[in-house]
Amino acid sequence: MGNNNDEQKKSSTLQLVTSACAALVLGWLVLGTQANLTSAQQSNFMGGSPRIADSDAVSTLRLIFPAGVRSNWHSHSWGQLLMVEEGRGLTQDRGGPLLEMHPGEPWWTPAGREHWHGAHPDEDVLQLTIYEGDVNWMEGVTDSVYNATPRRP
């Protein structure tokens, strides 16, 4: 998403570390599991200490989709939390409208729901994705589906 100079590399590394930390915290909040628990630092919380749950089963990825690139149709056995960090993306549930995604908007796809996501035809997108379990990959998204007119939710 730009030139690969030293400042961008440092910024990208910092963004990656920050996003990974945020993803782990968000995964803990979403999952709420009670396995392998340890206490968080008390001084940062009121009324007690939350416990950090094991997150080994949670996958977190930051994917850069170049303009025009999209995933195949797929579903997740647990569900998927997706958020655009930079650029504009597109997503669609099977049978639903094509939707445009913007930075800072979380997208939750429930378990078993067939969907796809990717970049806008004219703009790269950086997506943070969090999921647990298996991904069931299906057929590719046709150009006619991808090039439909998106709408804002």
Q: Is the pLDDT of residue 55 over 90?
A: no
pLDDT digits (tens, 9 = 90+) for 98-150: 999 999 999 999 999 999 999 999 999 999 999 999 999 999 999 999 999 88
Q: Is residue 151 part of a domain?
A: no
Q: Is residue 1 part of a domain?
A: no
Number of helices followed by number of strands (H, E) in the chain: 2, 11
Q: Between 138 and 26, where is the model more confident?
A: 138
Q: Is residue 152 part of a domain?
A: no
Which helix H or strand E contains 143, and what residues bound it? helix 143-146
Q: Is residue 42 part of a domain?
A: yes
**Quick one: pLDDT at residue 19?**
55
**Quick one: pLDDT at residue 29?**
53
Q: Is residue 119 part of a domain?
A: yes
Handedness of CA 75, 109, 144, 67 (dihedral sign): negative
Whichever domain contains 10, its CATH number is 2.60.120.10
Q: Is residue 87 part of a domain?
A: yes
Q: Is residue 153 part of a domain?
A: no
48: containing domain:
6-146
Q: Is residue 30 part of a domain?
A: yes
**Total number of domains constituting the chain:** 1
pTM: 0.68
- Decide if 76 contacts 110 (C-beta within 8 A): no
